[in-house]
Structure 1
Amino acid sequence: MDASKKELADSGNLKIEWAKNHMPVLEQIRKEFEAEKPLKGRRIAMALHVEAKTAVLVETLAAGGANVAITGCNPLSTQDDVAYALDCKENISCCAKYDCTNAEYYEAIDKVLDMEPDITIDDGADLIFKLHKERRDLLPKIIGGCEETTTGIHRLMAMQKEGALEMAVLAVNDAQTKFMFDNRYGTGQSAWDGIMRTTNLLVAGKTVVIGGYGWCGRGIAMRAAGLGAEVVVTEINPVRALEARMDGYRVMPMANAAAIGDIFVTTTGNCDVISTEHFLKMKSGAILANAGHFNVEIDLEGLKKMSTDIKTVRKNIKEYTINKNQTESREQNSNKSGNKHEIKINVLADGRLVNLAAGDGHPAEVMDMSFANQALSVKYIAQNKLSHGVHKVPAEIDEWVASLKLKSMSIEIDRLTDKQRCYTDDWEAGT
């Protein structure tokens, strides 16, 4: 190994070691896997964000006896030093790289699938999509898979509804010890970490517009308020909109919020949450970031077409300049007169996941629970025959992860007495 590669491997291993030291639940599972080898002979293909916490999961699966091949699930979320360090480890191959093209991204997924896996782990369902569209010959060999994120679950449910899903998948994202903590506290902290380290600007006193009030949106809103921002939420779901208002935030359509926002963060998992009509209403200098899985929430193609100038003004920040008068004239096919009115819009990380493309992702303590769910779900798939379709993570896995996490935090909780258990189970007891 030459000096530069050794330096890369050393850097990656230091990051992995740091994450491992803050993931006690997954560490306990790794020790159990090492002793029991529940995944012996299994081939696991993964498409996840290749960074330090993911590497700890990969090492855990390999410790359980599996051969693991992994690539990225986002062109900008791979950390090259971690990827190289993983690729140097026994029974692990990694073909992810930072800032790959779309063609390279899908080529890497193909390389991972070339191992002819028994089990898959996905974040966004691109690997499963590839299997069903182009690598169908591999489907009969697969006994099941896991899906990490909300967007991926939505895609899989759509496949299932159409009768197109030809494998069993555990919805790891929907485990309580995943979405209630990873999506809310993980995204809440890591999205702002990515935004603040990228812009080096103050959040306090600004108006932050959050597109979507699911678990990720809740977390980002909570942290924005804690940083001193005025928070505005846009929603399509009346119940979530009501919840956001009761939580103390202003609620309005994006068409109205566009004119008052200083920072915009999308978290819906849908496309065109911020579109051309909204760009024209924005303040010059507005900052746009995305915390949803795919880079479709901000209409970047529309923004490019509207812009008279595009330049990189800081690492992970592109400034788009719109001449409002010219744009309005083109759209209305009229010759408006007036002074030149430029709007400068700053887009972070090309609209990709800001917490990973411009930061280090979720804190290790949160991913400890998410990846503990992944490891135990893979073991469950290996030991049980599941029918095709999307399945819930067994409740006992969820509760076991929560119990281990509490224990690692030196927290004890009450238990029901025999009398309380009988009272809970009885329907005759009244006043």
Structure 2
Amino acid sequence: MAISTQGDVRDLSLSARGKDRIEWAAKDMPVLRLIRERFAKDLPLKGVRMSGCLHITTETANLAITLKAGGADLVLCASNPLSTQDDVAAALVSEYGIPTFAIKGENEEIYYQHINAVLDHQPQMTMDDGCDLVSTIHTKRTELIANIIGSMEETTTGVIRLHSMEKQGVLKFPVVAVNDSDTKHLFDNRFGTGQSTLDAIIRSTNILLAGRTLVVIGYGWCGRGVASRARGMGSEVVVCEVNPTRALEAVMEGYRVMPGVEAAAIGDVFVTVTGDINVIDKAHLEHMKDGAIIANSGHFNDEINIPELEKLAVKKRRVRDFVDEYTYADGRHIHLLAEGRLVNLSAAEGHPASVMDMSFANQALAAEYILEHAKEMQPQVYTLPADIDTEIARLKLHAMGVKIDTLTPEQEHYLNSWESGT
């Protein structure tokens, strides 16, 4: 298959609609707008070849426009086969001149062709949403490693993979774990995932969550967000966890906590948010009641053991967009959303622009930080300095019209002294 160097998208005629939607999202991304204005003046990324493997959404488009304004020579591909917004991909190519390789629903072969297409750009810097670019570079495109200054990673799943690479001594260049910034995971993972996951479940099923038992598997920041939003909509929330501290926190927050197999028998809706494999496995699937709905909001579709679901079913049919019904031999029906892929981006639009404003501010400033500090950075996983995190929070509060207190000189002195006591 021949792919143009300008990109591979479904339909360029969709670009006008995509541009309108990109501009709509921009209205709710004031922090990124401030960074873009500075980047356009200072050109901190001038001439740097960048390749990004990200969800191609309206919010990502605004990040891409910001990076290009800063002088970056940027190309993009999708980080998930189902998360692309085709009109946005078209607009990036024809309206903004950013080569983009992304088609919603692309198969695995095309997905990796697109990854290799952006790597053919010979990047000096990469951006990842799940670590597929970095993984491909380290396994199949090792000739690129020598020229790569550094990379950024957006997701919990990707950071897990990167720490594994670092621990095994195979990571060959520095990576900033954008996900670990407070202004990313405390807001994007919690408020963004919480809202967008329930939005996707409701859009694809049109069920009423009030009165239903919703099981959240994983109580990290994403799980916390899903649980709190589901409770706010009237669901009885059950949490399943393997980490004792997180499980205890869920108990103290007022949720029922139990093993997954027990929850499988009582749940109406299941949401996986762990970043691990087969957290809904054969034993869980066997215990689920008729009409159960299963959704995944982790990055990869590994969290649900779909091959086992296929084996248990005697019939499968698509009953609604993004809803596959599996019929068991005993007549029970189990419903899988979005083929087990991350439901919030596959069956809905992903996180609202307001929360992605902070996440992508971290991405843009991480690119600048890597270039400024490349000489002292080693092949390991880094977190952005706290002062950058704090500045993003300050800018966001300012944009929201929220004022806060500042310490007096006396208070500053007190906090930095040790003499005062009882």
TM-score normalised per structure 2 = 0.96
Q: Which letter maps to 2:401?
A: S
Find the partner of 2:27 among 12, 21, 30: 21
1:85 correspondence with 2:104: no
Question: Quick one: distance in 2 between partners of 1:381 and 1:118?
Answer: 11
Find the partner of 2:45 among 39, 42, 45: 39
User: Could you tell me which residue of structure 1 aligns to residue 411 of structure 2?
Assistant: 420
What pairs with 1:174-253 in structure 2 (closer than 5 Å)?
A: 174-253=180-259
What pairs with 1:91-240 in structure 2 (closer than 5 Å)?
A: 92-240=98-246
Question: Quick one: distance in 2 between partners of 1:236 and 1:421?
Answer: 41
Question: Quick one: distance in 1 between partners of 2:154 and 2:99?
Answer: 20
Question: Quick one: distance in 2 between partners of 1:396 and 1:122?
Answer: 23
What pairs with 1:267-416 in structure 2 (closer than 5 Å)?
A: 267-323=273-329, 341-385=330-374, 386-416=377-407
Question: Quick one: distance in 2 between partners of 1:265 and 1:140?
Answer: 41
Q: Which letter maps to 2:136?
A: K
Question: Quick one: distance in 2 between partners of 1:302 and 1:237?
Answer: 25
Secondary structure of 1:413's counterpart equals: coil
User: Could you tell me which residue of structure 2 aligns to residue 337 of structure 1?
Assistant: none
Q: 1:163-185: per-residue Cα shift (whole Å, max 9, x none)? A: 01001000100000000000000
- Cα shift at 1:89: 4.2
1:80 to 1:342, Cα distance in 2 relative to 1, 3 A: same
1:6 to 1:307, Cα distance in 2 relative to 1, 3 A: closer
Secondary structure of 2:145's counterpart equals: helix
Q: 1:351-409: per-residue Cα shift (whole Å, max 9, x none)? A: 00110000000010000000000000001112221211101111111011001000001
Aligned length: 411
> Runs of at least 4 residues of structure 1 off by over 6 A?
none
Q: 1:288-331: per-residue Cα shift (whole Å, max 9, x none)? A: 000100001111011101110000000000000111xxxxxxxx
Question: Quick one: distance in 2 between partners of 1:292 and 1:6?
Answer: 30
Unaligned runs of 5+ in 2: 1-9
- Cα shift at 1:279: 1.2
Q: Which letter maps to 2:404?
A: I
Q: Which letter maps to 2:172?
A: E
Q: Which letter maps to 2:386?
A: A
Question: Quick one: distance in 2 between partners of 1:100 and 1:143?
Answer: 30
Question: Quick one: distance in 2 between partners of 1:126 and 1:318?
Answer: 27
- Cα shift at 1:90: 4.9
Q: Which letter maps to 2:399?
A: S
Question: Quick one: distance in 2 between partners of 1:225 and 1:95?
Answer: 39
Secondary structure of 1:92's counterpart equals: coil
User: Is contact 1:68-1:91 (8 Å) kept?
Assistant: no
Q: Which letter maps to 1:276?
A: K
1:252 to 1:199, Cα distance in 2 relative to 1, 3 A: same
User: Could you tell me which residue of structure 2 aligns to residue 58 of structure 1?
Assistant: 64
Q: Which letter maps to 1:254?
A: G
Q: Which letter maps to 1:353?
A: L
User: Is contact 1:62-1:91 (8 Å) kept?
Assistant: no
Q: CA RMSD in A?
A: 1.0
Q: 1:111-167: per-residue Cα shift (whole Å, max 9, x none)? A: 000010111000000000000001000001000000000000000000000001001
